[in-house]
Structure formats: C-alpha cells, structure tokens
Amino acid sequence: MKERILVVDDDCEVANSLVRLLTTMGYESKASYDGRQAADVASDFMPDMVFIDIGMPGFDGYQTVTQIRAHRECGHAILIALTGWTTPEVRQRAYQHGFDLHVAKPLGLDQLQELLTLLKPAKNESTEKRIHRLSAAAPR
C-alpha cells in the first residue's frame, strides 16, 4: 500500500503543486485548502504524513494540528509545519501545538526527499530518532 500524504495550505497552487510532485514520486496524496476541513479530511484519508501551513485564515495551522492530533485515526501521522513563518517563537509554538517538525517554505526537492525518509525509517533508527535528527539539523 502506498504511503498517504495530506497537504494543507490555503494557497491552492502551493498545495496542488506539492500534491502533484508527491503523486509523481509514488505517494497517494491529497490537498485540503482549509484548516477547519483538514481534520475531517485527515480522519477519512488516514495520512501517514501531513504538511500544514501555519498562516491560514480562519483555522490556522496551530488549530489544525490540534484537531488532527485529536483523531485516533491520525495518531501515527507525522505532522510537519510547512510555513513561511520562521521565527524561533513560531518554531517553538509549532512544537508546543503538536507538530513533529517545522520546515520553512520554499521546500526544496532534496529537503522533501529527506522528509519522506521518515515514512521508511532505517533499521537502526526509529522514526522518533529521525525526527529529532532532522529537527536538530533544521535552520534556526
């Protein structure tokens, strides 16, 4: 079964571009353009990874990640803040709200491929250890 990836961004072009790329790479991918609806989409789609923009109108990324974390079906998902907001305060708040990683836009192909390795952890490295390593390597 293909890994499932949900992209949540109010900028439809950003979300659709990433979904097209992920689909081309062999992942089952879906976009949601509204944070409020994303939690329902996630509970139906049961993604393995979710990229969530923080700066969305209405339901922002912090509220969205909280709602997705509340769904039992999404407990295994790796939740990544993909945002243009990169201050240390935003990064800290992202982790406090339940994101596994905070990544700055624009997302490069090499960085995307590294993030996707989280879906297939190495034999000697758990997903949690890999998230920690990627988080520590992320620019501050």
Q: No. of H helices and E strands in the chain?
A: 6, 5
Assess whether pLDDT exceeds 70 at residue 139: no
d(CA 80, CA 118): 11
**Domains of the chain in sequence order:** 4-137 (3.40.50.2300)
Q: What digits encode the pLDDT tens for the residues 37-79?
A: 999 999 999 999 999 999 999 899 999 999 999 988 888 899 9
> Among 93, 87, 96, 5, which residue's Cα sits nearest to residue 52?
5
- The per-residue pLDDT for range 79-133, each reduced to its tens digit, is 999 999 999 999 999 999 999 999 999 999 999 999 999 988 666 667 677 677 6
Output helix, strand, coil percentages for the chain, rounded to the nearest 5: 50, 15, 35
